[in-house]
Amino acid sequence: MIATTQHRWCIKHEWNVSRHIERTKKAHTMTIIPTIVLGAALLLAQLFPLAGMAQAAAAAGENQGATYTGEKACNTCHALENKHFGPTQHARIFRLNPRNELERQVCEACHGPGSNHIKNPANRDALISFTREWGTPVEKQSDTCMACHKGGQRMHWSGSIHATNKLSCSDCHNGMGKFSANGLLKKASITETCYTCHAQQRAEFRKRSHMPVPEGKMSCVDCHNPHGSTTRPLLKADTVNEVCYACHAERRGPMLWEHAPVRENCMNCHFPHGSNQAQLLQVARPFLCQQCHGNTFHPSTMYNAGQSLGGGAVANSRVLGRSCQNCHSAIHGSNHPAGARFQR
């Protein structure tokens, strides 16, 4: 009995000693960890300013020691550019009502300090230029513009399809000349500016049924935001339908009887820019309707101008005029109690 008691006491003593050692290790570890974290933080605090200073030094190295020379020095060589620049909004603001000291520099507000450029005009690092030929990185060009023009319609520029494709502001705009009524565009109109890259859309607007863009009744920016949006095609709303409803409010609904493909996406039936079918339809009626409606009886009958594909002496009423819509006239949806088949 005494041996058993002693044995238990030894086991308990060993367990207490082990527990004490374990607690000591934990306390020691908890003391070391904050010390390591604090040391790492102090090290990073020392390194990050050095990294920032290195980046600033590298940026300054491109145009090191440059100073502002004033607009008159620029006009000595660039008389033609000054003539074009005079009527622009930039010139009026910078010369007559500058908001800060940078805007007072006029030319150098955008192009940067020009003293090194005057010393060596061939040095392309001595000036920010807004042409592809000069070689200033696209990101640097855009950042210069965004210094004043950030936010608003341009809040989604970063990450937009235009930005990721390395377009700069100067690919569409010319801040040095008034060649358009608004926006300092490179072309006379918004549409012509967009056509510079979007040749496919130019061709679609030449089709017999098209949005009234060539007639000047609307422009690309009525539906799109070229500076970026939350959608890939740069729509001005979250969905295609919301864009269409801006003009076609009568199609918005809600309707008592909804037509599912209409509510889903207008582009299920229509092209957005142009078509060789009436009302921008993708396919001629009745074939457009028969892409979905393969029911028995007349919805699935393949019609042509001679009654059906089998031929006939008299043209069928279902291929005349508006085809299916001769009867189903409320095809976008109906609020009539008896409008389940969109006939009223």
pTM: 0.74
CA 224, CA 152: separation in Å to the nearest integer?
Answer: 15
Tens digits of per-residue pLDDT, 148-192? 999 899 999 999 999 999 999 999 999 999 999 889 999 999 999
Q: How many CA atoms lie within 13 A of 251 on its CB side?
A: 19
Tens digits of per-residue pLDDT, 29-65? 445 555 555 555 545 444 443 333 333 334 444 678 8
Q: Are 69 and 108 in contact (CB under 8 A)?
A: yes
> CA quadruple 298, 304, 309, 310: dihedral positive or negative?
positive
Q: Are 289 and 324 in contact (CB under 8 A)?
A: yes
**Does residue 266 or residue 61 have the better pLDDT?**
266
Residues in CB range of 28: below 8 A, 6 or more apart: none
Judging by beta carbons within 10 Å of its beta carbon (0-12, 13-18, 19+), is residue 103 exposed, middle or buried? middle
